[in-house]
């Protein structure tokens, strides 16, 4: 439930939203996403959180980060940390939970409604704290993927759960093929 006169802020956990949309078979059109929530209320801020690999020649997320930065989103980034796990596999770690939480707590006195794009159960205490401050919190994720991308405790805590799959027609676009997928399609008989 949204009210036209309420002050809104969007908090997008980039990697979590990407994984949820991918599990549902579509990509997010961020221009449409921003327009949709501008239509639902007075959008004050739209934050996007992601970790970036440094010292790599090309990062597939860099064009998106640049586009968002020039098109009304407040970008919050930090360097991702690379490490090798106990099985010798290369892993990347770039958790943005603390940055998102601090920003949401700072903005809480100036908004009526926060929309959190994440299914991460670690955000349940944040949602509870925002609610104690009088802020309504909607969470956008999906229960329609296998496994569901939202933690049950986060879904229960939120004032409103928005199923990402139901936003597909409004903010989605078909997934882009990778160069490898294009090559396979081209060479297939």
Residue 1 per-residue DSSP state? -
Do the strands 90-93 and 81-84 form a parallel or antiparallel pair, or are they unpaired?
Answer: antiparallel
pLDDT string in tens for the chain (189-residue length): 899 999 999 999 999 999 999 999 999 999 999 999 999 999 999 999 998 887 777 777 888 999 999 999 999 998 888 778 888 887 777 789 999 999 999 999 999 999 999 999 999 999 999 999 999 999 999 999 999 999 999 999 999 999 999 999 999 988 766 554 444 444 444
In order of 7, 145, 160, 170, 171, the CA distances from 31 in angstroms are 19, 24, 23, 11, 8
Q: What pLDDT is stored for residue 178 in this prediction? A: 55
H helices of the chain, in order, are 14-24, 30-40, 62-70, 97-107, 124-132, 152-157, 164-171, 179-187
Residues 171/32, Cβ–Cβ less than 8 Å: yes
Question: Residue 52: what pLDDT?
Answer: 87
Give the pLDDT confidence score for residue 121 in this predicted structure.
Answer: 97
- Rounded CA gap, 145 and 59, in Å? 27
Domains observed in the chain: 7-186 (3.40.50.1010)
Nearest to 119 by CA among 12, 25, 1: 12
Output phi, psi for 37, to 5 deg: -80, -20
- In angstroms, what CA-CA distances link 33 with 12, 91, 171? 11, 30, 5
3-class state of residue 79 by DSSP: strand
Q: CA-based Rg of the chain, rounded to a whole angstrom?
A: 17
On whether the CB atoms of residues 152 and 123 are closer than 8 A, the answer is no
Number of H-type helices and E-type strands within the chain: 8, 10
């Amino acid at each position: 439930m949204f009210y036209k006169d309420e002050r809104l802020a969007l908090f997008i956990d980039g990697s979590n939203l990407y994984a949820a949309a991918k599990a549902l078979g579509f990509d997010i059109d961020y221009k449409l996403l921003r327009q949709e929530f501008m239509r639902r209320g007075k959008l004050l801020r739209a934050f996007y959180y992601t970790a970036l690999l440094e010292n790599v020649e090309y990062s597939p997320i860099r064009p998106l980060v640049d586009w968002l930065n020039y098109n009304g989103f407040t970008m919050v980034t930090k360097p991702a940390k690379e490490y090798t796990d106990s099985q010798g596999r290369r892993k990347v770690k770039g958790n943005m939970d603390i940055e998102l939480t601090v920003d949401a707590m700072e903005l809480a006195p100036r908004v009526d409604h926060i929309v959190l794009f994440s299914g991460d159960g670690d955000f349940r205490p944040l949602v509870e704290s925002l609610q104690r401050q009088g802020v309504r919190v909607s969470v956008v994720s999906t229960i329609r993927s296998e496994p569901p991308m939202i933690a049950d405790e986060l879904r229960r805590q939120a004032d409103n759960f928005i199923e990402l799959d139901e936003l597909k027609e409004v903010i989605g676009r078909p997934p882009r093929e990778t160069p490898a997928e294009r090559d396979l399609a081209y060479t297939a008989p």
